Structure 1
Amino acid sequence: MLLGIILALLAGSLVSLQNIFNNKVNVHVGSWTTTALVLGLGFAASFTLGLLFEGKGMFDLHALKLWYCFSGLIGVGVVTCMVQGINRLGPTFGVSISMCAQLGFALLFDSMGWLGLDKVEFTFKQLVGVLVIVGGILVFKLGGRKKQSQENAQNSLGAV
């Protein structure tokens, strides 16, 4: 379990780092070029590492359901939406909203047993946990507005 936690923390940090890099690329080349670069380089790296670590075994796809292969198309949406969301909201707020959506949909998919997942009983504690995280993000984002508005008002008065 500890290794799973460490890997999940590492994945979260890498996703945040990737989102910042993607946003910087997007500033220079645009959204679709960014998406193509990100997914193209990701393909090249994973293909090379797959061959290195799995060899020919990486081409053994006989047990794979065809519709699972569409996750690459979903990746286009993920990269494009994250780049645009971060561009409009900033990294912290954009990633926070994305995390809430991930958590909410993961809870929904688990609870309903959709997409071949084992059905997990939905509990009130899970709902409260998701709502606490969403509330924390709202406090984080909206909590500084009053202070910032006061500072802007003082700066405006000082300029007059």
Structure 2
Amino acid sequence: MKGILFALLGGFFLTFQSVANATISNQIGSWQAAVMTQLTGFVLAFAIVLMIRDRSYRQLTEVSPLYASGGMLAAIVLFSNMTAVHIMGVTMTIAVFLIAQLVLALVIDSKGWFDMSQKKIGRTQIAGVLMMIAGVIILKL
């Protein structure tokens, strides 16, 4: 239940962030908005780490460079998201982003990439993705 709550919060905040970033990018530019978003996110996360006095950041040197570079991907995600919102609107952007995330998540699970445990992907998972795609087509009508 706790996982579902955090997933819902993440989804809500992703939508709010998409709208805010698209609005900001109209005023200052997309890459500038991405910088501002990344910077304010870093400041908040750093403040939380300091408040909870978690010292595990001392182990940063043990993190694989592949995974440590994940933050750089966020800049691309932000730029792509802002650009898509300007072109397609918030609803279509979030719908297509969710499908893209789900498809890649299924591939990662089925292959066991990135140190994830390998999961069997069956017809029901594929049917679920196809239903989401159908839903996006219906949204577009």
TM-score range, shorter chain: over 0.9
Q: Counterpart of 2:14? A: 15
Q: Which blocks of at least 5 consecutive residues in structure 1 are unaligned? A: 143-160
Once the two structures are superposed, the pairs formed by residues 12-51 of structure 1 within 5 Å of their partners are 12-51=11-50
Residue 95 of structure 1 and its aligned partner are, at CA, apart by 0.9
Q: Closer, same or farther in 2 for the Cα pair 1:34/1:80, shift >3 Å?
A: same
Shift, 1:66, TM fit: 2.0
Matched residue pairs, number? 141
Q: Which amino acid aligns with 2:46?
A: F
> Structure 2 length normalisation: TM-score?
0.95
> How many angstroms apart in 1 are the aligned matches of 2:61 and 2:34?
29
Unaligned runs of 5+ in 2: none
- Aligned ranges 1:91-130 → 2 under 5 Å: 91-130=90-129
SS in 1 for 2:60: coil
Tell me whether 1:88 sits opposite 2:87 in the alignment: yes
Partner residue of 2:130?
A: 131
Q: CA deviation at 1:48?
A: 1.1
CA distance, structure 2, for counterparts of residue 140 and residue 9 of structure 1:
21
Q: What is the Cα deviation at residue 51 of structure 1? A: 1.5
SS in 1 for 2:118: coil
TM-score when normalising by structure 1 = 0.84
The structure 1 segments of at least 4 consecutive aligned residues displaced by more than 4 Å after TM superposition are none
Query: What percentage of residue pairs aligned between the two structures are identical?
Result: 26
Of structures 1 and 2, the one with the larger relative CO (CA 8 A, separation 6+) is 2
Structure 2 distance, partners of 1:62, 1:43, is: 18
Distance between the aligned counterparts of 2:93 and 2:64, measured in 1? Answer: 33
The aligned residue for residue 77 of structure 2 is 78
State the Cα distance separating 1:62 from its structure 2 match: 4.6
Q: Please give the alpha-carbon distance, in whole angstroms, between the structure 2 residues aligned to 1:95 and 1:20.
A: 10
Which structure has the larger Rg over C-alpha atoms?
A: 1
* 8 Å CA contact 1:23, 1:87 repeated in 2: yes
Question: Equivalents in 2 of 1:62, 1:42: separation in Å?
Answer: 22
Q: What is the distance in 1 between the residues matched to 2:31 and 2:16?
A: 19
Query: Secondary structure in 2 aligned to 1:122?
Result: coil
The separation in 2 between residues aligned to 1:54 and 1:100, in whole angstroms, is 37
